[in-house]
Structure 1
Amino acid sequence: MTDPRRAGNPLWIAYEYVAMVIGLGSLAIICIGWLPFALIFNPLLSRARGQRWGRYMIMDGFQTYLNVLSRFCACRFDLSELDQLRGEGPLILAANHPSLLDAVLVVSRLPNAVCVMKASLMDNILFGAAARLARYIRNNNPLEMILSAREELQGGAHLVIFPEGTRTVNFPIDPCSPSTALIAGRTGIPVQTLLIEYSVPYLGKAWPLWKRPALPLHCRIRLGRRFPAPASAAGLTRELDGYFREELGRKSTHSTITS
Protein backbone atom coordinates (compact mmCIF):
# COMPACT_ATOMS: atom_id res chain seq x y z
CA MET A 1 0.00 0.00 0.00
CA THR A 2 1.31 3.47 -0.88
CA ASP A 3 2.66 5.45 2.05
CA PRO A 4 -0.05 8.04 2.90
CA ARG A 5 2.69 10.67 3.23
CA ARG A 6 3.50 10.13 -0.46
CA ALA A 7 -0.06 9.87 -1.75
CA GLY A 8 -0.83 12.90 -3.87
CA ASN A 9 2.76 14.13 -3.80
CA PRO A 10 3.46 15.37 -7.37
CA LEU A 11 7.09 14.24 -7.26
CA TRP A 12 6.12 10.75 -6.11
CA ILE A 13 3.42 10.52 -8.77
CA ALA A 14 5.99 11.52 -11.38
CA TYR A 15 8.36 8.85 -10.05
CA GLU A 16 5.59 6.23 -10.34
CA TYR A 17 5.15 7.13 -14.02
CA VAL A 18 8.90 6.95 -14.59
CA ALA A 19 9.03 3.58 -12.82
CA MET A 20 6.21 2.31 -15.05
CA VAL A 21 8.13 3.27 -18.18
CA ILE A 22 11.35 1.72 -16.83
CA GLY A 23 9.52 -1.49 -15.92
CA LEU A 24 7.67 -1.95 -19.20
CA GLY A 25 10.62 -0.76 -21.26
CA SER A 26 13.15 -3.06 -19.60
CA LEU A 27 10.93 -6.10 -20.15
CA ALA A 28 10.52 -5.20 -23.81
CA ILE A 29 14.29 -4.73 -24.22
CA ILE A 30 15.03 -8.10 -22.59
CA CYS A 31 12.49 -9.87 -24.81
CA ILE A 32 13.67 -8.15 -27.99
CA GLY A 33 17.30 -8.89 -27.10
CA TRP A 34 16.65 -12.63 -26.87
CA LEU A 35 14.19 -12.76 -29.79
CA PRO A 36 16.65 -13.16 -32.71
CA PHE A 37 18.63 -15.84 -30.87
CA ALA A 38 15.45 -17.77 -30.04
CA LEU A 39 14.40 -17.60 -33.69
CA ILE A 40 17.80 -18.84 -34.87
CA PHE A 41 18.27 -21.55 -32.24
CA ASN A 42 14.79 -23.05 -32.63
CA PRO A 43 15.51 -24.87 -35.92
CA LEU A 44 19.24 -25.39 -35.25
CA LEU A 45 19.33 -26.95 -31.79
CA SER A 46 18.04 -30.36 -30.83
CA ARG A 47 14.78 -30.39 -28.89
CA ALA A 48 16.53 -31.24 -25.61
CA ARG A 49 19.29 -28.64 -25.97
CA GLY A 50 16.94 -25.94 -27.20
CA GLN A 51 14.56 -26.62 -24.33
CA ARG A 52 17.36 -26.47 -21.77
CA TRP A 53 18.83 -23.26 -23.15
CA GLY A 54 15.42 -21.71 -23.68
CA ARG A 55 14.29 -22.28 -20.10
CA TYR A 56 17.57 -21.12 -18.63
CA MET A 57 17.56 -17.90 -20.64
CA ILE A 58 13.94 -17.14 -19.72
CA MET A 59 14.76 -17.66 -16.04
CA ASP A 60 17.87 -15.47 -16.32
CA GLY A 61 16.01 -12.77 -18.24
CA PHE A 62 13.20 -12.67 -15.70
CA GLN A 63 15.72 -12.49 -12.84
CA THR A 64 17.32 -9.50 -14.55
CA TYR A 65 13.93 -7.87 -15.01
CA LEU A 66 12.98 -8.31 -11.34
CA ASN A 67 16.37 -6.89 -10.32
CA VAL A 68 15.59 -3.79 -12.38
CA LEU A 69 12.20 -3.45 -10.70
CA SER A 70 13.79 -3.89 -7.26
CA ARG A 71 16.61 -1.38 -7.85
CA PHE A 72 14.81 1.36 -9.73
CA CYS A 73 11.05 0.90 -9.33
CA ALA A 74 10.44 0.51 -5.57
CA CYS A 75 9.31 -3.11 -5.93
CA ARG A 76 9.98 -5.70 -3.23
CA PHE A 77 9.72 -9.43 -3.97
CA ASP A 78 9.77 -12.22 -1.40
CA LEU A 79 10.20 -15.36 -3.52
CA SER A 80 12.54 -17.29 -1.23
CA GLU A 81 10.10 -20.14 -0.56
CA LEU A 82 10.23 -21.09 -4.25
CA ASP A 83 13.89 -22.02 -3.82
CA GLN A 84 12.81 -25.03 -1.77
CA LEU A 85 11.42 -26.57 -4.97
CA ARG A 86 14.55 -26.32 -7.12
CA GLY A 87 16.02 -29.66 -6.09
CA GLU A 88 12.74 -31.56 -6.15
CA GLY A 89 11.51 -33.86 -8.86
CA PRO A 90 8.54 -33.22 -11.14
CA LEU A 91 5.68 -31.19 -9.67
CA ILE A 92 2.55 -29.49 -10.89
CA LEU A 93 2.72 -25.92 -9.55
CA ALA A 94 -0.80 -24.52 -9.32
CA ALA A 95 -1.01 -20.81 -8.47
CA ASN A 96 -3.65 -18.14 -8.19
CA HIS A 97 -3.36 -15.49 -10.87
CA PRO A 98 -3.85 -11.89 -9.66
CA SER A 99 -1.38 -10.18 -12.04
CA LEU A 100 0.45 -10.32 -15.36
CA LEU A 101 3.66 -10.64 -13.34
CA ASP A 102 2.79 -14.02 -11.80
CA ALA A 103 4.50 -16.31 -14.32
CA VAL A 104 7.54 -14.03 -14.35
CA LEU A 105 7.91 -14.35 -10.58
CA VAL A 106 7.59 -18.14 -10.51
CA VAL A 107 9.79 -18.90 -13.51
CA SER A 108 12.53 -16.54 -12.31
CA ARG A 109 13.45 -19.01 -9.54
CA LEU A 110 13.03 -22.39 -11.28
CA PRO A 111 15.44 -23.46 -14.05
CA ASN A 112 13.29 -26.30 -15.39
CA ALA A 113 9.87 -24.67 -15.28
CA VAL A 114 7.47 -25.09 -18.20
CA CYS A 115 4.37 -22.92 -18.40
CA VAL A 116 0.93 -23.70 -19.74
CA MET A 117 0.26 -20.57 -21.83
CA LYS A 118 -2.55 -19.03 -23.81
CA ALA A 119 -2.14 -19.67 -27.52
CA SER A 120 -2.20 -15.91 -28.16
CA LEU A 121 0.92 -15.47 -26.01
CA MET A 122 2.66 -18.36 -27.76
CA ASP A 123 2.11 -16.48 -31.03
CA ASN A 124 3.04 -13.07 -29.61
CA ILE A 125 5.96 -11.41 -31.41
CA LEU A 126 7.77 -10.57 -28.14
CA PHE A 127 7.24 -13.82 -26.20
CA GLY A 128 6.40 -16.47 -28.79
CA ALA A 129 9.82 -17.48 -30.11
CA ALA A 130 11.30 -17.77 -26.61
CA ALA A 131 8.28 -19.75 -25.37
CA ARG A 132 8.44 -22.14 -28.32
CA LEU A 133 12.18 -22.72 -27.87
CA ALA A 134 11.57 -23.52 -24.18
CA ARG A 135 8.78 -25.91 -25.26
CA TYR A 136 6.05 -24.17 -23.30
CA ILE A 137 2.59 -25.68 -23.68
CA ARG A 138 -0.41 -24.19 -25.47
CA ASN A 139 -3.71 -24.37 -23.63
CA ASN A 140 -6.09 -24.21 -26.61
CA ASN A 141 -6.34 -27.98 -27.20
CA PRO A 142 -7.12 -29.83 -23.93
CA LEU A 143 -5.95 -33.26 -25.09
CA GLU A 144 -2.68 -31.99 -26.55
CA MET A 145 -2.13 -29.89 -23.43
CA ILE A 146 -2.51 -32.92 -21.16
CA LEU A 147 -0.28 -35.11 -23.32
CA SER A 148 2.42 -32.43 -23.55
CA ALA A 149 2.23 -31.83 -19.81
CA ARG A 150 2.63 -35.55 -19.15
CA GLU A 151 5.72 -35.67 -21.39
CA GLU A 152 7.30 -32.70 -19.61
CA LEU A 153 6.57 -34.07 -16.14
CA GLN A 154 7.99 -37.46 -17.08
CA GLY A 155 11.16 -35.57 -18.02
CA GLY A 156 11.38 -34.03 -14.54
CA ALA A 157 9.99 -30.54 -15.22
CA HIS A 158 8.05 -28.24 -12.94
CA LEU A 159 4.75 -27.54 -14.70
CA VAL A 160 3.41 -24.03 -13.94
CA ILE A 161 -0.34 -23.70 -14.38
CA PHE A 162 -3.00 -21.23 -13.28
CA PRO A 163 -6.18 -23.18 -12.48
CA GLU A 164 -8.35 -20.10 -13.00
CA GLY A 165 -7.30 -20.04 -16.66
CA THR A 166 -6.90 -16.25 -16.68
CA ARG A 167 -6.20 -13.42 -14.25
CA THR A 168 -8.51 -13.17 -11.26
CA VAL A 169 -11.64 -11.07 -11.73
CA ASN A 170 -13.53 -11.84 -8.53
CA PHE A 171 -11.09 -11.87 -5.62
CA PRO A 172 -9.78 -13.83 -3.85
CA ILE A 173 -10.03 -16.32 -6.74
CA ASP A 174 -12.21 -17.28 -9.68
CA PRO A 175 -13.53 -20.86 -10.07
CA CYS A 176 -10.82 -23.42 -10.84
CA SER A 177 -11.02 -25.31 -14.12
CA PRO A 178 -10.52 -29.12 -14.10
CA SER A 179 -7.32 -28.98 -16.20
CA THR A 180 -4.92 -29.08 -13.24
CA ALA A 181 -6.64 -32.09 -11.70
CA LEU A 182 -6.87 -33.87 -15.06
CA ILE A 183 -3.12 -33.51 -15.60
CA ALA A 184 -2.41 -34.73 -12.06
CA GLY A 185 -4.70 -37.72 -12.53
CA ARG A 186 -3.17 -38.68 -15.87
CA THR A 187 0.44 -38.32 -14.67
CA GLY A 188 0.27 -39.38 -11.02
CA ILE A 189 2.24 -36.22 -10.11
CA PRO A 190 1.25 -34.23 -6.99
CA VAL A 191 -0.02 -30.66 -7.13
CA GLN A 192 1.97 -28.07 -5.16
CA THR A 193 -0.09 -24.94 -4.61
CA LEU A 194 1.49 -21.48 -4.73
CA LEU A 195 -0.17 -18.52 -3.01
CA ILE A 196 0.66 -15.21 -4.71
CA GLU A 197 -0.05 -12.02 -2.78
CA TYR A 198 0.40 -8.36 -3.79
CA SER A 199 0.06 -5.15 -1.82
CA VAL A 200 -2.12 -3.83 -4.66
CA PRO A 201 -3.54 -5.73 -7.66
CA TYR A 202 -1.02 -4.21 -10.09
CA LEU A 203 -1.52 -5.43 -13.69
CA GLY A 204 -4.58 -7.41 -12.68
CA LYS A 205 -7.66 -7.62 -14.90
CA ALA A 206 -8.90 -4.26 -13.66
CA TRP A 207 -5.47 -2.55 -13.86
CA PRO A 208 -4.73 -1.29 -17.40
CA LEU A 209 -1.18 -1.68 -18.70
CA TRP A 210 -0.59 2.07 -18.85
CA LYS A 211 -2.03 2.89 -15.44
CA ARG A 212 0.79 3.97 -13.12
CA PRO A 213 1.66 1.55 -10.28
CA ALA A 214 0.95 2.38 -6.64
CA LEU A 215 4.46 2.26 -5.18
CA PRO A 216 6.12 0.79 -3.25
CA LEU A 217 4.85 -2.55 -4.55
CA HIS A 218 5.28 -5.64 -2.37
CA CYS A 219 4.82 -9.20 -3.58
CA ARG A 220 5.19 -12.53 -1.82
CA ILE A 221 4.80 -16.13 -2.96
CA ARG A 222 4.10 -18.75 -0.31
CA LEU A 223 4.21 -22.51 -0.70
CA GLY A 224 0.77 -23.84 0.05
CA ARG A 225 -0.59 -27.32 0.58
CA ARG A 226 0.62 -30.18 -1.62
CA PHE A 227 -2.18 -32.40 -2.95
CA PRO A 228 -1.49 -35.99 -4.01
CA ALA A 229 -2.51 -37.14 -7.48
CA PRO A 230 -6.27 -37.68 -7.36
CA ALA A 231 -8.52 -40.62 -7.98
CA SER A 232 -11.19 -38.12 -9.04
CA ALA A 233 -10.41 -35.01 -11.06
CA ALA A 234 -13.68 -33.41 -10.02
CA GLY A 235 -12.86 -34.02 -6.37
CA LEU A 236 -9.42 -32.41 -6.59
CA THR A 237 -10.83 -29.44 -8.51
CA ARG A 238 -13.28 -28.80 -5.66
CA GLU A 239 -10.50 -29.20 -3.10
CA LEU A 240 -8.20 -26.76 -4.93
CA ASP A 241 -10.97 -24.21 -5.28
CA GLY A 242 -11.89 -24.44 -1.61
CA TYR A 243 -8.30 -24.36 -0.45
CA PHE A 244 -7.38 -21.25 -2.45
CA ARG A 245 -10.51 -19.45 -1.25
CA GLU A 246 -9.80 -20.28 2.36
CA GLU A 247 -6.10 -19.38 2.29
CA LEU A 248 -6.36 -16.24 0.18
CA GLY A 249 -9.48 -15.12 1.97
CA ARG A 250 -7.61 -14.99 5.26
CA LYS A 251 -5.50 -12.14 3.96
CA SER A 252 -6.84 -10.36 0.93
CA THR A 253 -4.45 -9.81 -1.96
CA HIS A 254 -5.40 -6.15 -1.66
CA SER A 255 -3.98 -5.81 1.84
CA THR A 256 -0.51 -4.60 2.76
CA ILE A 257 2.32 -7.11 2.45
CA THR A 258 5.59 -6.24 4.10
CA SER A 259 8.88 -7.49 2.75
Structure 2
Amino acid sequence: MTDRRGVGNPLWIAYEYIAMGLGLGSLAVLCLIWLPCALLFQLVLPQRISQPFGRWMISSAFRIYLQILTLFCACRFDLKEIDRLRDEGPLIVAANHPSLLDVVMIISRLPNAVCIMKASLMDNILFGAAARLARYIRNDAALDMIIGSRQELAQGAHLVIFPEGSRTLDFPIGPCSSSVGLISNRSKVAVQTILIEFSTPYLGKAWPLFRRPQLPLTCRVRLGRRFPPPTNLKSFTSELEGYFRSELGENPTPKMAPAA
Protein backbone atom coordinates (compact mmCIF):
# COMPACT_ATOMS: atom_id res chain seq x y z
CA MET A 1 0.00 0.00 0.00
CA THR A 2 1.26 3.50 -0.80
CA ASP A 3 2.48 5.42 2.24
CA ARG A 4 0.60 8.73 2.40
CA ARG A 5 1.56 9.81 5.91
CA GLY A 6 2.58 13.24 4.65
CA VAL A 7 -0.95 14.05 3.41
CA GLY A 8 -2.04 17.49 4.64
CA ASN A 9 1.45 18.51 5.78
CA PRO A 10 2.23 21.91 4.21
CA LEU A 11 5.86 20.92 3.62
CA TRP A 12 4.81 17.73 1.86
CA ILE A 13 2.29 19.63 -0.27
CA ALA A 14 5.06 22.08 -1.21
CA TYR A 15 7.31 19.15 -2.12
CA GLU A 16 4.57 17.70 -4.35
CA TYR A 17 4.36 20.98 -6.25
CA ILE A 18 8.15 21.11 -6.59
CA ALA A 19 8.20 17.50 -7.79
CA MET A 20 5.51 18.30 -10.35
CA GLY A 21 7.52 21.23 -11.70
CA LEU A 22 10.71 19.20 -11.80
CA GLY A 23 8.99 16.28 -13.52
CA LEU A 24 7.32 18.34 -16.23
CA GLY A 25 10.28 20.67 -16.62
CA SER A 26 12.88 17.92 -16.99
CA LEU A 27 10.85 16.25 -19.75
CA ALA A 28 10.59 19.57 -21.59
CA VAL A 29 14.36 20.12 -21.23
CA LEU A 30 15.18 16.64 -22.58
CA CYS A 31 12.89 17.27 -25.56
CA LEU A 32 14.40 20.70 -26.25
CA ILE A 33 17.95 19.32 -26.10
CA TRP A 34 17.12 16.60 -28.63
CA LEU A 35 14.94 18.78 -30.91
CA PRO A 36 17.68 20.44 -33.03
CA CYS A 37 19.64 17.18 -33.22
CA ALA A 38 16.58 15.27 -34.43
CA LEU A 39 15.87 17.91 -37.08
CA LEU A 40 19.47 17.77 -38.30
CA PHE A 41 19.79 13.98 -38.32
CA GLN A 42 16.52 13.66 -40.20
CA LEU A 43 18.04 15.75 -42.98
CA VAL A 44 21.52 14.26 -43.18
CA LEU A 45 21.22 10.61 -42.19
CA PRO A 46 19.75 7.83 -44.36
CA GLN A 47 16.65 6.17 -42.94
CA ARG A 48 18.43 2.86 -42.28
CA ILE A 49 20.60 4.71 -39.75
CA SER A 50 18.33 7.50 -38.51
CA GLN A 51 15.36 5.28 -37.70
CA PRO A 52 17.03 2.85 -35.24
CA PHE A 53 19.18 5.66 -33.84
CA GLY A 54 16.14 7.85 -33.28
CA ARG A 55 14.30 5.06 -31.48
CA TRP A 56 17.30 4.24 -29.32
CA MET A 57 17.66 7.88 -28.32
CA ILE A 58 14.00 8.19 -27.34
CA SER A 59 14.24 4.99 -25.29
CA SER A 60 17.40 6.22 -23.56
CA ALA A 61 15.93 9.66 -22.86
CA PHE A 62 12.80 8.12 -21.36
CA ARG A 63 14.98 5.90 -19.16
CA ILE A 64 16.83 8.96 -17.89
CA TYR A 65 13.53 10.73 -17.30
CA LEU A 66 12.16 7.87 -15.19
CA GLN A 67 15.37 7.87 -13.17
CA ILE A 68 14.87 11.58 -12.49
CA LEU A 69 11.32 10.89 -11.30
CA THR A 70 12.58 8.05 -9.11
CA LEU A 71 15.45 9.99 -7.54
CA PHE A 72 13.81 13.37 -7.00
CA CYS A 73 10.02 13.01 -7.29
CA ALA A 74 9.09 10.08 -5.00
CA CYS A 75 8.03 7.87 -7.92
CA ARG A 76 8.51 4.11 -7.97
CA PHE A 77 8.31 2.09 -11.19
CA ASP A 78 8.24 -1.70 -11.40
CA LEU A 79 8.94 -2.31 -15.09
CA LYS A 80 11.14 -5.40 -15.00
CA GLU A 81 8.58 -7.64 -16.72
CA ILE A 82 8.77 -5.51 -19.88
CA ASP A 83 12.44 -6.45 -20.19
CA ARG A 84 11.37 -9.98 -21.11
CA LEU A 85 10.10 -8.60 -24.44
CA ARG A 86 13.28 -6.74 -25.33
CA ASP A 87 14.80 -9.51 -27.45
CA GLU A 88 11.48 -10.75 -28.81
CA GLY A 89 9.99 -9.46 -31.98
CA PRO A 90 8.01 -8.64 -33.88
CA LEU A 91 5.15 -8.07 -31.43
CA ILE A 92 2.10 -5.87 -31.13
CA VAL A 93 2.30 -4.50 -27.59
CA ALA A 94 -1.22 -3.56 -26.46
CA ALA A 95 -1.63 -1.80 -23.11
CA ASN A 96 -4.32 -0.10 -21.08
CA HIS A 97 -3.83 3.67 -20.90
CA PRO A 98 -4.38 5.21 -17.45
CA SER A 99 -1.74 7.97 -17.72
CA LEU A 100 0.47 10.06 -19.99
CA LEU A 101 3.41 8.18 -18.45
CA ASP A 102 2.37 4.86 -20.05
CA VAL A 103 4.23 5.26 -23.32
CA VAL A 104 7.28 6.63 -21.50
CA MET A 105 7.51 3.52 -19.33
CA ILE A 106 7.03 1.04 -22.16
CA ILE A 107 9.44 2.66 -24.62
CA SER A 108 12.09 3.14 -21.93
CA ARG A 109 12.47 -0.66 -21.94
CA LEU A 110 11.99 -1.36 -25.65
CA PRO A 111 14.59 0.43 -27.81
CA ASN A 112 13.08 -0.83 -31.07
CA ALA A 113 9.56 0.28 -30.24
CA VAL A 114 7.44 2.24 -32.70
CA CYS A 115 4.29 4.05 -31.60
CA ILE A 116 1.05 4.87 -33.28
CA MET A 117 0.72 8.54 -32.35
CA LYS A 118 -1.94 11.18 -32.60
CA ALA A 119 -1.30 13.39 -35.62
CA SER A 120 -1.36 16.47 -33.38
CA LEU A 121 1.60 15.08 -31.39
CA MET A 122 3.48 14.19 -34.56
CA ASP A 123 3.12 17.85 -35.61
CA ASN A 124 3.94 19.20 -32.13
CA ILE A 125 7.06 21.38 -32.09
CA LEU A 126 8.34 19.74 -28.89
CA PHE A 127 7.77 16.07 -29.73
CA GLY A 128 7.31 15.94 -33.50
CA ALA A 129 10.91 16.00 -34.72
CA ALA A 130 11.96 13.09 -32.51
CA ALA A 131 8.88 11.07 -33.48
CA ARG A 132 9.44 11.66 -37.19
CA LEU A 133 13.13 10.70 -36.92
CA ALA A 134 12.10 7.43 -35.25
CA ARG A 135 9.47 6.92 -37.98
CA TYR A 136 6.54 6.69 -35.60
CA ILE A 137 3.16 6.15 -37.25
CA ARG A 138 0.43 8.79 -37.56
CA ASN A 139 -3.12 7.81 -36.68
CA ASP A 140 -5.01 10.24 -38.93
CA ALA A 141 -5.20 7.97 -42.00
CA ALA A 142 -6.42 4.44 -41.25
CA LEU A 143 -5.01 2.79 -44.38
CA ASP A 144 -1.59 4.41 -44.00
CA MET A 145 -1.57 3.44 -40.32
CA ILE A 146 -2.22 -0.23 -41.14
CA ILE A 147 0.34 -0.30 -43.97
CA GLY A 148 2.95 1.45 -41.83
CA SER A 149 2.32 -0.92 -38.94
CA ARG A 150 2.71 -3.96 -41.19
CA GLN A 151 5.98 -2.63 -42.56
CA GLU A 152 7.43 -1.98 -39.13
CA LEU A 153 6.37 -5.38 -37.82
CA ALA A 154 7.86 -7.07 -40.88
CA GLN A 155 11.17 -5.47 -39.88
CA GLY A 156 10.96 -6.90 -36.34
CA ALA A 157 9.75 -3.86 -34.39
CA HIS A 158 7.62 -3.71 -31.26
CA LEU A 159 4.45 -1.86 -32.23
CA VAL A 160 3.07 -0.04 -29.16
CA ILE A 161 -0.65 0.65 -29.32
CA PHE A 162 -3.38 1.52 -26.84
CA PRO A 163 -6.61 -0.29 -27.76
CA GLU A 164 -8.74 2.42 -26.12
CA GLY A 165 -7.31 5.03 -28.48
CA SER A 166 -7.06 7.57 -25.67
CA ARG A 167 -6.41 7.63 -21.94
CA THR A 168 -8.86 5.73 -19.76
CA LEU A 169 -11.79 7.75 -18.48
CA ASP A 170 -13.97 5.00 -17.02
CA PHE A 171 -11.74 2.58 -15.13
CA PRO A 172 -10.62 -0.14 -15.39
CA ILE A 173 -10.67 0.35 -19.19
CA GLY A 174 -12.67 2.12 -21.84
CA PRO A 175 -14.14 0.62 -25.01
CA CYS A 176 -11.50 -0.96 -27.26
CA SER A 177 -11.36 -0.28 -30.98
CA SER A 178 -10.85 -2.93 -33.64
CA SER A 179 -7.51 -1.46 -34.76
CA VAL A 180 -5.38 -3.87 -32.72
CA GLY A 181 -7.12 -6.92 -34.15
CA LEU A 182 -7.04 -5.51 -37.67
CA ILE A 183 -3.29 -4.85 -37.58
CA SER A 184 -2.65 -8.28 -36.04
CA ASN A 185 -4.83 -9.96 -38.66
CA ARG A 186 -3.14 -8.20 -41.59
CA SER A 187 0.42 -8.61 -40.29
CA LYS A 188 -0.01 -12.12 -38.82
CA VAL A 189 1.77 -10.94 -35.65
CA ALA A 190 0.66 -11.83 -32.11
CA VAL A 191 -0.72 -9.31 -29.62
CA GLN A 192 1.14 -9.14 -26.30
CA THR A 193 -0.96 -7.40 -23.65
CA ILE A 194 0.59 -5.21 -20.97
CA LEU A 195 -1.25 -4.33 -17.76
CA ILE A 196 -0.48 -0.96 -16.15
CA GLU A 197 -1.51 -0.13 -12.59
CA PHE A 198 -0.95 3.21 -10.82
CA SER A 199 -1.45 4.17 -7.18
CA THR A 200 -3.32 7.28 -8.36
CA PRO A 201 -4.60 8.35 -11.80
CA TYR A 202 -1.88 11.01 -12.10
CA LEU A 203 -1.81 12.57 -15.59
CA GLY A 204 -4.88 10.55 -16.50
CA LYS A 205 -7.71 11.81 -18.65
CA ALA A 206 -9.43 13.53 -15.72
CA TRP A 207 -6.23 14.82 -14.08
CA PRO A 208 -5.30 18.39 -15.14
CA LEU A 209 -1.70 18.74 -16.31
CA PHE A 210 -0.78 21.24 -13.59
CA ARG A 211 -2.57 19.58 -10.72
CA ARG A 212 0.01 18.40 -8.20
CA PRO A 213 0.54 14.65 -7.87
CA GLN A 214 -0.30 12.60 -4.80
CA LEU A 215 3.10 11.30 -3.77
CA PRO A 216 4.62 8.83 -3.46
CA LEU A 217 3.47 7.59 -6.86
CA THR A 218 3.86 3.89 -7.55
CA CYS A 219 3.39 2.03 -10.81
CA ARG A 220 3.52 -1.63 -11.68
CA VAL A 221 3.61 -2.95 -15.24
CA ARG A 222 3.11 -6.66 -15.83
CA LEU A 223 2.89 -8.85 -18.88
CA GLY A 224 -0.51 -10.25 -19.69
CA ARG A 225 -1.84 -12.82 -22.10
CA ARG A 226 -0.46 -13.14 -25.62
CA PHE A 227 -3.18 -13.44 -28.28
CA PRO A 228 -2.55 -15.09 -31.66
CA PRO A 229 -3.55 -13.15 -34.79
CA PRO A 230 -7.37 -13.16 -34.91
CA THR A 231 -9.65 -14.22 -37.73
CA ASN A 232 -12.83 -12.68 -36.31
CA LEU A 233 -12.17 -9.01 -35.48
CA LYS A 234 -15.40 -8.36 -33.59
CA SER A 235 -14.96 -11.41 -31.40
CA PHE A 236 -11.30 -10.61 -30.77
CA THR A 237 -12.00 -6.99 -29.79
CA SER A 238 -14.65 -8.11 -27.33
CA GLU A 239 -12.34 -10.78 -25.90
CA LEU A 240 -9.44 -8.32 -25.57
CA GLU A 241 -11.55 -5.76 -23.72
CA GLY A 242 -13.00 -8.46 -21.47
CA TYR A 243 -9.52 -9.73 -20.68
CA PHE A 244 -8.31 -6.28 -19.60
CA ARG A 245 -11.39 -5.87 -17.40
CA SER A 246 -10.93 -9.23 -15.73
CA GLU A 247 -7.22 -8.69 -15.08
CA LEU A 248 -7.42 -5.09 -13.93
CA GLY A 249 -10.47 -5.56 -11.71
CA GLU A 250 -13.22 -3.09 -11.04
CA ASN A 251 -11.03 -0.27 -9.74
CA PRO A 252 -7.29 -0.81 -10.29
CA THR A 253 -6.52 2.90 -10.08
CA PRO A 254 -7.84 4.83 -7.06
CA LYS A 255 -10.13 7.76 -7.71
CA MET A 256 -8.75 11.27 -7.40
CA ALA A 257 -8.76 12.78 -3.96
CA PRO A 258 -10.08 16.35 -3.66
CA ALA A 259 -7.40 18.95 -4.38
CA ALA A 260 -5.90 20.50 -1.26
TM-score exceeds 0.5: yes
**CA displacement, residues 2-40 of structure 1 (integer Å, 9 cap, x when unaligned):** 634211000000000000000000000000000000001
1:1-40 to 2 correspondences below 5 Å? 3-40=3-40
C-alpha RMSD of the superposition: 1.1
Corresponding residue of 1:237: 237
Q: Cα distance, 1:254 vs. partner?
A: 2.0
Structure 1 unmatched ranges of 5 or more: none
Answer yes or no: is 1:155 the counterpart of 2:155: yes
**Paired residue type of 2:102:** D
Describe how 1:36-47 pairs up with structure 2 within 5 A.
Answer: 36-47=36-47
- CA apart distance, 1:137: 0.4
Structure-1-length-normalised TM-score:
0.96
State the distance in 2 between where 1:193 and 1:166 align.
Answer: 16
Counterparts in 2 of 1:4 and 1:219: CA distance versus 1, 3 Å: closer
2:52 maps to which residue? 52
Provide the rounded CA distance (Å) in 1 between the counterparts of 2:3 and 2:211.
Answer: 18
Residue identity (%): 65
C-alpha separation in 2, matches of 1:3 and 1:104: 24
How many Å separate the matches in 2 of 1:217 and 1:93? 24
After TM superposition, the structure 1 = structure 2 runs for residues 105-254 of structure 1, keeping only pairs within 5 Å, are 105-249=105-249, 252-254=252-254
Using the alignment, how far apart are the partners of 2:15 and 2:154 within structure 1? 47
Q: How many residues align?
A: 255
Post-superposition Cα deviations, 1:114-163, rounded to whole Å, max 9, x if no partner, equal 00000000011110000000000001111100000000000000000000
Q: Distance in 2 between matches of 1:105 and 1:7?
A: 26
Aligned equivalents of 1:251, 1:208: Cα separation in 2? 20
**Contact residue 2 and residue 214 of structure 1 kept, 8 A:** no
Give, in whole Å, the separation in 1 of the partners of 2:166 and 2:48: 29
Rounded to whole Å, the distance in 2 between the matches of 1:179 and 1:47 is: 27
3-state DSSP class of the match of 1:175? coil
User: 1:250 Cα shift?
Assistant: 5.8
Counterpart CA distance in 2 for 1:189 and 1:171 is 28
SS in 1 for 2:109: coil
